[in-house]
C-alpha cells in the first residue's frame, strides 16, 4: 500500500500556499481530537508538522502563535514542554468543525423571501460601520448598496440583536424582489458567484485525481496524513466563503454537491491510515497519548 513515484509524478502533494502552518496545526488538533487525548509534547508536534514540509523553527512558531490565539495552552513538566487544548470555547470550536464537515450536506427549503437590512450610521460614530459590516459578513450577507445588505436566509432576529449590541439604528425586513433586472439591483448579483465557483473548480482540480488512488488503497500513511489535512483545510475555506445560497437561486450546474462528494470520500477514506501515521509520529514521545488519539468522522 505505497504511493509510488509514478503516482506522485502526476499527483505531487504539498501544503497549498493559501494554507498556513498555523491553519494546518489547528486543523490537525481538531481532526484528531487532541482535546480528549491530553497534553502533546511539543517535539511530537514538530515531528507531525515535519510531514508537511514545515521546518522545526516554523513548527515552533506555529505552536507559539496558536497558543497566543487561545486555542492551546503550554504545559511544562521538568524540561519537557507540551501543549493541551484550551477548554475555553471548546464547545464552540467543536460546533464549527461539525458545521464545516456538514457544509452543503442538506439544502434547506427556501420561502422565496430575502432578509434585507438597511442602516444609517452618523458620521460622529462612523467607527461602528466596519463593526456592523463584519457582523453582517459573518452571517453571509452581501451588500446590495453600501447601506442595504441582503441574505436569503431568515436572520432577522439575530440582526436585531446585533443592532442592539452595537447601538445602531437599522431596519430589518423579509421581502421579495419584483423584477430586479429592471431596477438594476438584483440581490443575487450582490454575491460573488464567479469567485466561489473558482474555489470549487480549484478544489476539484487539486483533489479529484486522488480518488482513484484512495479507492485502490494506494496512498501510504505519510501522504494520507498530509492529504486528509489539506482536504479538510481547503473545504473549511470554501465553507467560510460560500454563502450557501438556496438551490433555487443557483445555476443548474452549480458545483457544490459534486465537490462535496469528493471531500467526503477523501476525508473519510483517508481517516484510518492517516490516524496510523499520526500515532506513529507521536508514539516515540508518548505511547499512551498516541493510543488515545482518534480521528473524526461525520
Q: What is the pLDDT of residues 268-289, one digit of tens each?
A: 999 999 999 999 999 999 999 9
Distance CA 136, CA 9 (A): 44
Whether residue 281 contacts residue 51, with contact meaning beta carbons closer than 8 Å, is answered with yes
* Residue 226, helix vs strand vs coil: helix
199 belongs to a structural domain: no
Conformational region of residue 258, where left means phi above 0, alpha means psi within -120 to 50, and beta covers everything else: alpha
User: What is the pLDDT confidence band of residue 232, given thresholds at 50, 70 and 90?
Assistant: very high
Distance CA 37, CA 293 (A): 6
Percent over 90 (pLDDT), the chain: 77
Encode pLDDT of 139-160 as tens digits. 999 999 999 999 999 999 999 9
pLDDT of amino acid 239 = 95
Joined grid coordinates for residue 232: 479538510
H or E element, residue 238: helix 221-241
pLDDT of amino acid 79 = 81
Whether residue 69 contacts residue 62, with contact meaning beta carbons closer than 8 Å, is answered with no
Rounded average pLDDT over 39-63: 94
147 belongs to a structural domain: yes
pLDDT of amino acid 17 = 47
- Sign of the alpha-carbon dihedral angle for 237, 243, 244, 249: negative
109 belongs to a structural domain: no
Q: What's the mean per-residue pLDDT of the chain?
A: 90
- Sign of the alpha-carbon dihedral angle for 19, 21, 23, 26: positive
Percent over 70 (pLDDT), the chain: 92
Encode pLDDT of 88-99 as tens digits. 988 999 999 999
163 belongs to a structural domain: yes
Q: Which residues pair with 175 in a beta bridge?
A: 114
CA distances to 24, 122, 138, 200, 241 from 235, rounded to whole Å, are 13, 39, 17, 9, 10
Question: For the domain that residue 133 is a member of, what is the CATH number?
Answer: 3.30.70
44 belongs to a structural domain: no
Joined grid coordinates for residue 298: 461525520
108 belongs to a structural domain: no
**Structural domain containing residue 156:** 114-175
Give the chain's domain count. 1
Annotate 241-263 with DSSP letters as a single string: H-----GGGS-TT--HHHHHHHH
Rounded average pLDDT over 29-51: 94
pLDDT of amino acid 181 = 63
Q: Is the pLDDT of residue 12 over 80?
A: no
Encode pLDDT of 153-202 as tens digits. 999 999 999 999 999 989 999 999 886 666 567 899 999 999 999 999 99
Amino acid at each position: 500500500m505505497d504511493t509510488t513515484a509514478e503516482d506522485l509524478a502526476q499527483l505531487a502533494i504539498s501544503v497549498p500556499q493559501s494554507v498556513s502552518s498555523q491553519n494546518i496545526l489547528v486543523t490537525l488538533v481538531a481532526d484528531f481530537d487532541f482535546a480528549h487525548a491530553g497534553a502533546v509534547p511539543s517535539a511530537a508536534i514538530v515531528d507531525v508538522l515535519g510531514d508537511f514540509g514545515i521546518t522545526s523553527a516554523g513548527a515552533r512558531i506555529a505552536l507559539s502563535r496558536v497558543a497566543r490565539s487561545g486555542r492551546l495552552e503550554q504545559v511544562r513538566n521538568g524540561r519537557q514542554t507540551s501543549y493541551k487544548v484550551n477548554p475555553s470555547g471548546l464547545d464552540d470550536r467543536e460546533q464549527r468543525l461539525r458545521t464545516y464537515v456538514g457544509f452543503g450536506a442538506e439544502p434547506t427549503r427556501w420561502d422565496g423571501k430575502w432578509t434585507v437590512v438597511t442602516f444609517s450610521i452618523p458620521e460622529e460614530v462612523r467607527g461602528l460601520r466596519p463593526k456592523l459590516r463584519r457582523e453582517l459578513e459573518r452571517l453571509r450577507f452581501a451588500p446590495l448598496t453600501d447601506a442595504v445588505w441582503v441574505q436569503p436566509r431568515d436572520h432577522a432576529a439575530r440582526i436585531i440583536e446585533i443592532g442592539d449590541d452595537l447601538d445602531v439604528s437599522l431596519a430589518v425586513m423579509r421581502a421579495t424582489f419584483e423584477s430586479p433586472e429592471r431596477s438594476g439591483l438584483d440581490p443575487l448579483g450582490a454575491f460573488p458567484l464567479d469567485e466561489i465557483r473558482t474555489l470549487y473548480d480549484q478544489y476539484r482540480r487539486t483533489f479529484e485525481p486522488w480518488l482513484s488512488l484512495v479507492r485502490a488503497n494506494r496512498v501510504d500513511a505519510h501522504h494520507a496524513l498530509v492529504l486528509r489535512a489539506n482536504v479538510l483545510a481547503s473545504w473549511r475555506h470554501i465553507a467560510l466563503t460560500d454563502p450557501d445560497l438556496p438551490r433555487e437561486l443557483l445555476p443548474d450546474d452549480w458545483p457544490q454537491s459534486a465537490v462535496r462528494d469528493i471531500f467526503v470520500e477523501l476525508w473519510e477514506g483517508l481517516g484510518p491510515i492517516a490516524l496510523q501515521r499520526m500515532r506513529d509520529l507521536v508514539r516515540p514521545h508518548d505511547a499512551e497519548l498516541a493510543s488515545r488519539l482518534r480521528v473524526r468522522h461525520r
